[in-house]
């Protein structure tokens, strides 16, 4: 078929991919990556903080001295050396006594979510998730043809009473909720953390309702003020699937994450990995093992924490000084993101082209809801830009918002409200800017 267009394929697509489209936001992001644009949009760690020369030497040795295994196929579950190391890493978060046998190495946390969705979700099943939630997880659930029911949060994270109500509503609708997908610590995108007290309540509610828990914890080690609360998996072994990654504590380019699964299902996950990618990259796994054995990785995490704390402070004080009245935002105690609520009448999605023209980018809140809500929110990242650039970005963003508010005051709501369709949003396939 030469010279075919996309339309020639449309009717042949599997049902599960028909709802996947490239959003207009994605198109704007290609412009947003230009150097003159201050990007508050991405989720990228500040890789320049790594000792790159030393990492380079380590990778060279991995090929020259261990190439026979590091450049070879591996096993589906991941190497035993790495799984043992992962158990050690998890003790830092308070998860003790995990067996390497129950760890499945994945291609980033993203593949972990995909495997769990394939394992548990049939078309039409319901996933309960915080509202807002991680865009990459929403894409996975959408591809599994599941329905996401968002549960609201406040400054202490997921609201237990709202979770109970969501479970009841799902039962009333005759659907089956398979699991709660939650990012309890330094949530992406909201930046909030589930309180100690609520952790127990949420676990009790899920246990009573027979609901599994998928706990996604990429940011737990990036705390700015003491240690983060214990993960849910450290409190309950059964029914909790713990997902994490080396993307934010070391480097996302290696694409190494993991699932700590209840023993009974570990084998199924391994078979699914084999069907999916045969095995995770032996070279990337070897790199992580070498990194954890020969380099000061705990100090590196400390240095990420310090850099991000300084940047969070810079972003928060710029918001305080510069944002128009009526704007509010969360106060993250770790992680990479602030979630802002903009003054009534402004639409973060509609405003995006004007922000890009003013050389600043953010992610509109709509990307983080499966149902098209979120127009009065935006996610602001503080891990990547320097404190000075963060302030400049906020200055530009505040200018755009002030202008929009003035236009509304002079010309009325139609001046800034687009006539875009409300309703279920097209699932956005995650990319670097949305991570």
Residues that bind ligand PMP (CB under 6 A): 43, 108-110, 134, 136, 183, 188, 216, 218, 245, 247, 252, 257, 435
CB atoms within 10 A of CB 237: 15
Complex with ligand PMP: residue 115 or 351, whichever CB lies closer = 115
Q: Is 141 exposed, middle or buried (0-12, 13-18, 19+ CB in 10 A)?
A: buried
Q: Report, in Å, the least distance between residue 257 CB and ligand PMP.
A: 4
Complex with ligand PMP: residue 362 or 391, whichever CB lies closer = 362
Nearest to 228 by CA among 89, 87, 95, 334: 334
Separation CA 420–CA 286 (nearest Å): 49
What b-and-e string marks burial along 298-319, b requiring 16 or more CB atoms within 10 Å of the CB?
eebbeebbebbbebbebbbebb
Q: Report, in Å, the least distance between residue 279 CB and ligand PMP.
A: 17
Q: Report, in Å, the least distance between residue 258 CB and ligand PMP.
A: 9
Complex with ligand PMP: residue 147 or 379, whichever CB lies closer = 379
Q: What is the DSSP letter of 192?
A: -
Complex with ligand PMP: residue 151 or 400, whichever CB lies closer = 151
Q: Report, in Å, the least distance between residue 43 CB and ligand PMP.
A: 4
Which residue's CB comes closest to ligand PMP? 108
Q: Report, in Å, the least distance between residue 313 CB and ligand PMP.
A: 22
Separation CA 170–CA 149 (nearest Å): 8
Q: Report, in Å, the least distance between residue 66 CB and ligand PMP.
A: 24
Complex with ligand PMP: residue 119 or 358, whichever CB lies closer = 119
Q: Report, in Å, the least distance between residue 434 CB and ligand PMP.
A: 8
Complex with ligand PMP: residue 110 or 273, whichever CB lies closer = 110
Separation CA 434–CA 39 (nearest Å): 11
Complex with ligand PMP: residue 245 or 416, whichever CB lies closer = 245
Q: Is 130 exposed, middle or buried (0-12, 13-18, 19+ CB in 10 A)?
A: buried
Complex with ligand PMP: residue 43 or 332, whichever CB lies closer = 43
Q: Report, in Å, the least distance between residue 239 CB and ligand PMP.
A: 20
Separation CA 130–CA 153 (nearest Å): 7
**Contact status, residue 221 vs residue 210, Cβ threshold 8 Å:** no
Separation CA 194–CA 392 (nearest Å): 31
**CA dist 155 → 144, 150, 160, 231 (Å):** 30, 16, 13, 18
């Amino acid at each position: 078929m030469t010279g075919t267009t996309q339309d020639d394929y449309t009717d042949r697509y599997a049902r599960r991919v028909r709802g996947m489209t490239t959003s207009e936001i994605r198109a704007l992001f290609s412009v947003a990556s230009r150097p003159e644009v201050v990007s508050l949009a991405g989720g990228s760690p500040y890789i320049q903080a790594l000792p790159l020369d030393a990492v380079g030497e380590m990778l060279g040795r991995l090929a020259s001295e261990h190439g026979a295994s590091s450049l070879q196929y591996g096993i589906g579950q991941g190497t035993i050396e790495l799984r043992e190391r992962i158990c050690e890493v998890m003790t830092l978060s308070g998860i003790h006594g995990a067996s390497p046998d129950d760890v499945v190495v994945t291609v980033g946390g993203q593949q972990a979510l995909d495997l769990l969705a394939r394992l548990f979700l049939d078309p039409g099943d319901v996933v309960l998730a915080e509202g807002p939630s991680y865009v990459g997880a929403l894409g996975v659930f959408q591809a599994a043809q599941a329905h996401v029911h968002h549960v609201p949060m406040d400054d202490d994270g997921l609201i237990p009473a709202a979770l109970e109500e969501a479970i009841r509503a799902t039962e009333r609708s005759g659907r089956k909720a398979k699991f709660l997908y939650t990012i309890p610590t330094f949530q992406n995108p909201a930046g909030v953390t589930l309180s100690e007290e609520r952790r127990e309540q949420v676990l009790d509610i899920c246990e009573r309702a027979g609901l599994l828990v998928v706990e996604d914890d990429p940011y737990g080690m990036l705390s700015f003020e003491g240690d983060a609360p214990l993960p849910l998996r450290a409190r309950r072994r059964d029914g909790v699937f713990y997902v994490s990654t080396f993307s934010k504590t070391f480097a996302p380019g290696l694409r190494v994450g993991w699932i700590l699964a209840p023993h009974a299902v570990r084998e199924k996950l391994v078979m699914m990995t084999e069907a999916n990618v045969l095995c995770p990259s032996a070279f990337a796994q070897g790199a992580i093992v070498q990194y954890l054995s020969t380099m000061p990785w705990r100090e590196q995490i400390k240095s990420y924490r310090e850099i991000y704390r300084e940047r969070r402070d810079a972003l928060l004080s710029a918001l305080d000084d510069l944002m128009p009245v009526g704007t509010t935002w969360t106060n993250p105690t770790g992680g990479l993101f602030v979630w802002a609520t903009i003054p009534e009448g402004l639409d973060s999605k509609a405003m995006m082209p004007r922000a890009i023209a003013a050389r600043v980018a953010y992610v509109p809140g709509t990307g983080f809801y499966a149902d098209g809500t979120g127009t009065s929110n935006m996610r602001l990242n503080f891990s990547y830009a320097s404190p000075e650039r963060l302030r400049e970005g906020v200055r530009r963003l505040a200018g755009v918002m002030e202008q929009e508010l003035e236009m509304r005051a002079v010309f009325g709501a139609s001046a800034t409200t687009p006539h875009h369709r409300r309703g279920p949003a097209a699932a956005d396939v995650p990319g670097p800017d949305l991570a």
